[in-house]
């Protein structure tokens, strides 16, 4: 896409970055390429005329990725009715997918049977993959809420949105008691352990905590223990959004009671079971727990992560537990913290050893409280793009020309939001906007 094809509302953002950072000519080119990537290369339509957003190099739509890919355009939608309409259409499509199968994480554009149809779970031809992840249900709620905050419109909180809300609540309540109540199981044969669930597809055994169970992390890797703490944090935030939406639009008293009850139960579960004592860092959040005392001290690059908690809206940027957790995450005590000759940051078991994820670096920048840390991360990202002008999934920390996923729109979008935040531009109603008033 050349500059002459760029909508005026997009060009305004590109010009702002150029004016803010004249000393970084490479950044100006990178921002334009990354910011336009979702719009120019991944946005298509279904037969019904609703938006369908592929991840880039995979022709399916993830509920998580599609939200994150489109999120920077909320800042455009404030003054661009056409983009606001596109985002509202995406919300409707996401909510329809959730009603189709709330346990699925990725969908086909049509009911064409593509994807992982051989998995041992209840697949349908419209589902690309059925790895159940809490965050898949959080992200569409977040997008709908932030569209309301950005534009003032509540038209997208329609019957589809309300029906999907009831479905989401059903699943989260059911998965509070995964061992006794859940209908979900998942197995994939002849693959690495992280692509399937043990115990006949039920996952590692858990005890009741009040939190809600997840089979997989936002990396699409299997959880070690079923209570994935950052995703439960995100669920608390999403339930808070639903509470506000219901109060403003639907005014359902029974629905309000149900939302508040579930939110409080998950929050109490986090506080009772997820805060654990680390031998070096004191009380910090574990990444996963099982309710019986087992815990997993780590953080992954994908969002939701522990690092991203205040970015998503769980807690404050200066909460003592978050600060202690952040110190742990950005240290060698985190098994997926990587230090190389060119990059330092958080990687993932989803990608090769010694690879750092630009998504995690963008999150680190947006949750940093010092301008020196923010600029250091910005300069690192500018210099380690593999000379492509784009972000990638994982990058070799000692050779930035070695990376995974050349076309990965989620990473490009996160980088774009980070750069705009350095220009003082934030998504209205987001935690970043509230923290930088």
Convert the pLDDT of each residue in 240-277 to its tens digit: 999 999 999 999 999 999 999 999 999 999 999 999 99
**Residue 152 confidence (pLDDT) above 90:** yes
| pLDDT tens-digit readout, 65-116 | 999 999 999 999 999 999 999 999 999 999 999 999 999 999 999 999 999 9
At 377 the pLDDT is: 98
Between CA 84 and CA 12, with CA 6 as vertex, the angle to 5 degrees is 70
**Residue 424 confidence (pLDDT) above 90:** yes
At 1 the pLDDT is: 36
- Exposed/middle/buried for 370, CB within 10 Å: 0-12, 13-18, 19+? exposed
The answer to whether 146 touches 428, Cβ cutoff 8 Å, is: yes
- Quick one: what percent of the chain has pLDDT higher than 90? 98
| pLDDT tens-digit readout, 8-21 | 999 999 999 999 99
DSSP track, 220-259: SPBPSSSEEHHHHHHHHHHHHHHHHHIIIII--HHHHHHH
- Quick one: what percent of the chain has pLDDT higher than 70? 99
Between CA 114 and CA 124, with CA 118 as vertex, the angle to 5 degrees is 55
Length of the chain: 437
| pLDDT tens-digit readout, 27-39 | 999 999 999 999 9
Please name every residue paired with 403 in a beta bridge, in sequence order, or none if there are none.
395
Domain span at 343: 3-435
Report the alpha-carbon distance of residue 321 to residue 285 in Å, rounded.
Answer: 7
The answer to whether 175 touches 212, Cβ cutoff 8 Å, is: yes
DSSP 8-state class, residue 153: -
Residues 6 or more apart in contact with residue 174 via CB below 8 angstroms: 181, 182, 183
Report the alpha-carbon distance of residue 20 to residue 80 in Å, rounded.
Answer: 22
**Residue 3 confidence (pLDDT) above 90:** no
Compute the chain's Rg from CA coordinates: 20
Averaged pLDDT of the chain: 97
Maximum distance among all Cα pairs of the chain, rounded to whole angstroms: 59
At 45 the pLDDT is: 96
**Residue 289 confidence (pLDDT) above 50:** yes
| pLDDT tens-digit readout, 196-208 | 999 999 999 999 9
Per the structure block, which two tokens stand in for 349?
A: 């078991």
The answer to whether 43 touches 86, Cβ cutoff 8 Å, is: yes
Q: What is the CATH number of the domain that holds 153?
A: 1.50.10.10
| pLDDT tens-digit readout, 199-244 | 999 999 999 999 999 999 999 999 999 999 999 999 999 999 999 9
Report the alpha-carbon distance of residue 113 to residue 71 in Å, rounded.
Answer: 29
pLDDT, mean of residues 381-385: 97
pLDDT, mean of residues 281-307: 98
At 46 the pLDDT is: 96
Tokens 């910090």: give the residue.
284
Give the confidence band of 437 by pLDDT, cuts at 50, 70, 90: confident
pLDDT, mean of residues 126-135: 98
pLDDT, mean of residues 329-348: 98
**Residue 6 confidence (pLDDT) above 90:** no
The answer to whether 86 touches 51, Cβ cutoff 8 Å, is: yes
Residues 6 or more apart in contact with residue 345 via CB below 8 angstroms: 301, 337, 338, 356, 357, 360, 361, 364, 377, 380, 397
CA atoms within 13 A on the CB side of 428: 16
**Residue 5 confidence (pLDDT) above 80:** no
Question: In the chain, how many domains are there?
Answer: 1
| pLDDT tens-digit readout, 295-311 | 999 999 999 999 999 99
Please name every residue paired with 43 in a beta bridge, in sequence order, or none if there are none.
53
């Amino acid at each position: 896409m050349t500059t002459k094809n760029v909508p005026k509302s997009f060009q305004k953002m590109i010009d702002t970055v150029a004016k803010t950072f004249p000393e970084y000519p490479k950044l100006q080119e990178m921002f334009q390429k990354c910011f336009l990537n979702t719009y120019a290369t991944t946005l298509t339509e279904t037969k019904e005329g609703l938006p369908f957003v592929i991840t880039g190099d995979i022709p399916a739509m993830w509920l998580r990725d599609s939200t994150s890919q489109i999120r920077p355009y909320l800042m455009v939608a404030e003054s661009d009715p056409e983009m606001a309409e596109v985002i509202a259409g995406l919300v409707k499509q996401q909510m329809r997918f959730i009603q189709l199968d709330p346990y699925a994480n990725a969908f086909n554009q049509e009911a064409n049977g593509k994807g992982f149809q051989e998995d041992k779970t209840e697949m349908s031809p419209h589902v690309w993959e059925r790895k159940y992840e809490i965050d898949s249900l959080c992200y569409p709620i977040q997008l709908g809420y932030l569209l309301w905050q950005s534009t003032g419109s509540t038209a997208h909180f329609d019957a589809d949105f309300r029906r999907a809300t009831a479905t989401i609540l059903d699943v989260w309540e059911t998965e509070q008691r995964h061992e006794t109540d859940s209908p979900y199981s998942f197995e994939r044969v002849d693959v690495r352990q992280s692509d399937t669930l043990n115990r006949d597809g039920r996952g590692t055994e858990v005890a009741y905590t009040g939190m809600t169970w997840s089979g997989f992390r936002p990396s699409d890797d299997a959880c070690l223990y079923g209570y994935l703490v950052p995703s439960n944090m995100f669920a608390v935030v999403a339930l808070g959004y639903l509470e506000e939406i219901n109060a403003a639009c639907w005014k359902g008293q029974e629905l309000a009671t149900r939302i508040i009850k579930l939110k409080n139960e998950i929050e109490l579960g986090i506080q009772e079971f997820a805060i654990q004592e680390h031998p070096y860092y004191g009380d910090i959040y574990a990444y996963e727990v099982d309710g019986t005392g087992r815990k997993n001290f780590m953080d992954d690059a994908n969002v939701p992560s522990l690092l991203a908690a205040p970015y998503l809206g769980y807690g404050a940027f200066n909460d003592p537990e978050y600060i202690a957790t952040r110190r742990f995450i950005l240290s060698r005590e985190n098994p997926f913290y990587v230090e190389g000759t060119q990059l330092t940051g958080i990687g993932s078991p989803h990608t090769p050893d010694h690879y750092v994820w630009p998504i995690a670096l963008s999150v680190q920048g947006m949750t940093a409280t010092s301008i020196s840390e923010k600029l250091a991360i910005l300069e690192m990202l500018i210099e380690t793009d593999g000379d492509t002008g784009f972000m990638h999934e994982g990058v070799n920390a000692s050779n930035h020309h070695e990376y995974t996923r050349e076309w990965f729109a989620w990473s490009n979008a996160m980088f774009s939001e980070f750069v705009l935040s350095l220009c003082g531009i934030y998504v209205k109603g987001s935690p970043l906007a509230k923290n930088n008033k």
